[in-house]
Amino acid sequence: MEFDLPTTAGLLVLLVALGTGVLVAAGVMATSTVLMMVTPAMLVFGVICLALGVKHGEYRARES
C-alpha cells in the first residue's frame, strides 16, 4: 500500500482527533488541558515519528 502526502496527513490528523475525542469523552482530565497541551503534543510526536519512519524506510529501501 502506498501513501501520498494528503493520505498520510489525513490519517495522522484522524488518529489525533480520535485520541482527543476519547480523552475528552472519558473525562480523565479537563477538556482545556486536553486541547491546549495533550493534542499539540500528540501532533508533534506523530510528526516526529512519521519523519523517522520515512527516513528509516528510505534507508531500508536503499540497502536492499
The pTM of this model reads 0.83
Share above pLDDT 70 across residues of the chain, in percent, rounded to a whole number: 97
Q: What is the pLDDT of residues 21-36, one digit of tens each?
A: 999 999 999 999 999 9
- How many domains are contained in the chain? 1
Please give the residue range of the domain that contains residue 17.
5-63
The stretch 32-48 carries a mean pLDDT of 96
Give pairs for 43-52: CB < 8 Å, separation 24+.
43/12, 43/16, 46/12, 46/15, 46/16, 47/12, 50/8, 50/12
Task: List, in order, residues 6 or more apart from 4 with CB less than 8 Å away.
Answer: none
